[in-house]
Structures are given as structure tokens and as C-alpha cells.
Amino acid sequence: MTGTVMQTDPATLAEGVNLLWVLVVTFLIFFMHAGFAMLEAGQVRAKNVANQLTKNMLTWSVGVTVFFLIGAGISSLAGWLTAGMSGEAPGLLATWTMGSSGLVSWLFGAVFAMTAATIVSGAVAGRARLRAYVGYTILLAAVIYPVVAGLVWGGGLLAGSGPLGNLLGVGFHDFAGGMIVHGMGGLAGLTAAAVIGARLGRFEKGSVNVIPGHSITFAVLGTLILAFGWYGFNVGTAATVFAPGSDTLALGAFANVGAVALATTLGMAAGAMGAGAAAWYKTGKVDTLYVANGMLAGLVGVTAIADAIVWPGALLVGFLAGVQLPIVFGFVEKRLHIDDVCAVFPVHGSAGILGALAFPFVATEFWSGASGVAWLASQFAAQVIGVGVIAAWTVGATAAVFYTFKLAGQARVTPEHEREGLDSSEHGVETYPEFGVGDEAPIMADGGMVASERSRTADDSVVEHGGDHE
């Protein structure tokens, strides 16, 4: 029996494999919401767990719908407007009528948008009204995040071909959202927490009081789920497996997928070690939550740059992202007196900023000799401008939204409801009814998760395992 060669169109094969790859990593990134849910639930008090889980589910449900109906179009419009309105104006409703390939691309963008949105919930846990948080999620998914994405990924002001690229010769580099997604989310969370104010008992009489979360187990489980999903976040951004030729197939963006995976892994590992080392130096103990959040900070640090850096750079940036975690967290709570419950700013905000600014110093292009000091200077200028523009827009827009809710008396729950717990006051449920959790969990001043309550000034050192964060 004589066999025949099956005739296959390379373009068709490439499209099928590429779409399958994007869908798989999209589902992996979606699963990160389970990680966020567990991480945040573990870091809040037992009486607020259901509220935090509800916010995570509504972030996805409300946010992804709004992003489909409005946000995706606004992102394209923001890119077109800030790039000088060159070419045909984008259709604001084009997402509604896309074909299969376009809808896959939209969904891949949507999971990034929802990651930025859900970060904010961890900063305002324990006192934000559900209606205020959902209202902000709507505006973030419709306008705030789409503008940021449009400025870079939509070909806008900060893109390599935009006005900034024309001026400096390079554009703002953010491979997978270290600044666009995580830095933006961390800054938004810090701003929202500052406007809403601290939880009752967090800062009083010169003390910075620790309010421990109810489950380190949940927090660590959430961390590891997030770390797993992060491979979809970073490696998945190499979204083109094959690039078809006339009668052959070649690797597309997948050509450097191994380097991206390595940078992601090394950044994660170095972040955990950096945070653990900093906590040990500060307190004499290796704080479990700092190690967990350090893993995430290391991942955030390399997310913007994982595609184009030398591997020692991934170790360095990840380690520094971990080291800065306890330092920045201490500054936020002790100096700024902002109650960032899940440390979203040092984990996502400052780590994202650090990674974006570090890019030219660890870039393959510089260390390979392909570009010299002039390129390093221009690229660093582009990174500084990009970080500044994104930060200014995010902080300004977020502050405006939450100040509006605050002036209307809708930003946070009443003191009575806060003491009762948001599970009961906002949802009418108890997460652990059979255990008879009381109204108040212990509040400890600058200590850790120890049995006795005490009060110390904000300048006292921390020595117990558990650190100085929730």
C-alpha cells in the first residue's frame, strides 16, 4: 500500500496551534484568581473572608463584562489618540463582532485587565463597601486600565512607534505587564487605601498595630497558585508559536520562550530569598508571609522585562524586589500610616516600578554589546517617563473615584459593621459559623502572631515570627 503525503496549509496549522496556545495560557491566567482569592482570604480576619471571596468573584464577573462592552474599545481609542490619531480611527464596538481569532486575542487581554482589577481588593480589605469596590471595578475595567494598556500595548504615547519612541529612539518596555498590570494595580490599591482610611485600631496613640490574618495556610496556598499561573502570564505572552512561510513553518515569538521561563523562575526564587533575608536581618526571624509575598514581588519585578534580559539580571532584579518588600511595607505603614492590608503596593506597585526601571541595566541588548551607553540612557529615560505617566494617571483617576464615594458617604462600612465583620453586615453569612469566631480578633502593636496582646511604639523593633505585616 502506497502512502501519500498529507497536504497541509502552513498558515492554517500555524493559526490553529497559536490559538490553542493562547487559549491554554489564558485559562492558566484566569486560574490566578483562585490564587488571589486564597492569598487575600488568608490575610484578612475570619469575619471578613466571605466578603473578600465575593469581591474576587465579582471583580471577574463584573469587570470582564465591562471590559468586553467598553474597555477593549477604549484601549484601542486611547492608543490611537495618544499616537497622534494616525491611521483610521478604531471602532469602539469592534470587539462585539470579532471573528474567532479576534475574540481569542480579546480574552487574552481581558485576563490581564482583571488581574489589575483584583489587586486593589487586597489593599482595602476589611472596611470598603462592596458597592464602592464594584463601582471602582466598573470604572477600572471601562477606562482606567484600558487607557494604560492603550498607551503602550495599543500603540499609543509610550509605545516604541509613538511620540516617545520617536523622541528617544526607543519606547517604554513592558513585556507582560510588570508596570501596566501590576504596578498600576499596586498604585491603585495604595491610593484607594489612603483615601478610605485605615481599619479601626490599626493606628492609634502612636502605635502601629498589627491585625493578623486568619490563615497563613491559605495565604501560602494562594501564593503557590499565583506562582503557577504566572508562567501563563509571562511565558504565555510569547503568544505566537509558529510563523508560517510560503510552504514551511518557523518559530514565532516562541523562539525566546525558554529565556522567558528561566527569567520568571529565577525572579520568583530570588524574590523569596530576598524577602526572607531582609526579614531575618530586620527581626532575626524568617517571616513566612514575607517569603510568600517575596515570591510574588520577584515575579512582578521580572514580568516587564523577562523577554530581553540576561539571566543574572533576573536573579538581581528578583532579589531586589524581595528585599524592598519589608522596607517599603514598613515605610507605608509607619511613615505614611496607610493600611495596605495585603501589602499590594510593595508586592505589585514598587516591585513593578523597580523592574521597569531596572530594564536597561540588565537588558540583553546592552550586555551583548549590540547597544551602548547612549541606548542605555535613552531606554532608561523612556522607562522613567513611562512609569511616571502610568503612575500619575492611575493615582489621579483612582483618587477621584474613591473621593467621590467618600464624599457621598459610600466608601466604607460603618464602624459598627466593621466591628461586626463584613461577612455578616454585607452578605449575611459567617465563613466559620461552627467555630464561634468572636467579633474581634487580637490587635497587636508592631509584633506578630503571638498569644499575648501588648502595645509598643511604632519605632520598636519586631522580633517575633510573623513579622510586622498582616
pLDDT, position 436: 58
- Joined together, the cell numbers standing for residue 289 give 508571609
- Joined together, the cell numbers standing for residue 92 give 469602539
pLDDT, position 465: 36
- Joined together, the cell numbers standing for residue 202 give 490599626
- Which among 225, 186, 184 has a CA at the least distance from the CA of 33? 225
Q: What is the pLDDT along the chain (470 residues), one digit of tens a residue?
A: 454 444 678 888 888 999 999 999 999 999 999 999 999 999 999 999 999 999 999 999 999 999 999 999 999 999 999 988 877 888 888 889 999 899 999 999 999 999 999 999 999 999 999 999 999 999 999 999 999 999 999 999 999 877 888 888 899 999 999 999 999 999 999 999 999 999 999 998 878 999 999 999 999 999 999 999 999 999 998 878 888 876 778 888 777 899 999 999 999 999 999 999 999 999 999 999 999 999 999 999 999 999 999 999 999 999 999 999 999 999 999 999 999 999 999 999 999 999 999 999 999 999 999 999 999 999 999 999 999 999 999 999 999 999 999 999 999 999 999 999 999 999 999 999 887 544 454 554 443 333 333 333 333 333 333 343 43
Where do we find the cell 460603618?
414
pLDDT, position 7: 62
CA distances from 346 to 152, 186, 236, 286 (A): 23, 8, 25, 18
How do 249-251 and 203-204 pair as beta strands? unpaired
pLDDT, position 253: 78
Distance CA 147, CA 72 (A): 10
- Joined together, the cell numbers standing for residue 357 give 526601571
Distance CA 104, CA 26 (A): 9
pLDDT, position 89: 85
pLDDT, position 461: 35
pLDDT, position 4: 47
The length of the chain is 470
Distance CA 355, CA 257 (A): 19
pLDDT, position 300: 98
- Joined together, the cell numbers standing for residue 335 give 511613615
3-state secondary structure the chain: CCCCCCCCCHHHHHHHHHHHHHHHHHHHHHHHHHHHHHHHHHHCCHHHHHHHHHHHHHHHHHHHHHHHHHHHHHHHHHHHHHCCCCCCCCCCCHHHHCCHHHHHHHHHHHHHHHHHHHHHHHHCCCCECHHHHHHHHHHHHHHHHHHHHHHHCCCCCCCCCCHHHHHHCCCCCCCCCHHHHHHHHHHHHHHHHHHHCCCCCCEECCEEEECCCCCHHHHHHHHHHHHHHHHHHHHHHCCCCEEECCCCEEECHHHHHHHHHHHHHHHHHHHHHHHHHHHHHHHCCCCHHHHHHHHHHHHHHHHCCCCCECHHHHHHHHHHHHHHHHHHHHHHHHCCCCCCCCCHHHHHHHHHHHHHHHHHHHEHHHHCCCCCHHHHHHHHHHHHHHHHHHHHHHHHHHHHHHHHHHHCCCCECCHHHHHHCHHHHHHCCCCCHHHCCCCCCCCEECCCCCCCCCCCCCCCCCCCCCCCCC
pLDDT, position 453: 34
- Which among 279, 268, 267, 284 has a CA at the least distance from the CA of 323? 279
How do 242-244 and 249-251 pair as beta strands? antiparallel
Distance CA 46, CA 441 (A): 8
Q: Which amino acid is at 333?
A: E
Q: Which amino acid is at 144?
A: I
CATH of the domain spanning 10-433: 1.10.3430.10
pLDDT, position 206: 79
Residue 404: which residues within 8 A CB-CB, separation 6 or more?
none
Alpha-carbon radius of gyration of the chain: 23
Where do we find the cell 511565558?
235
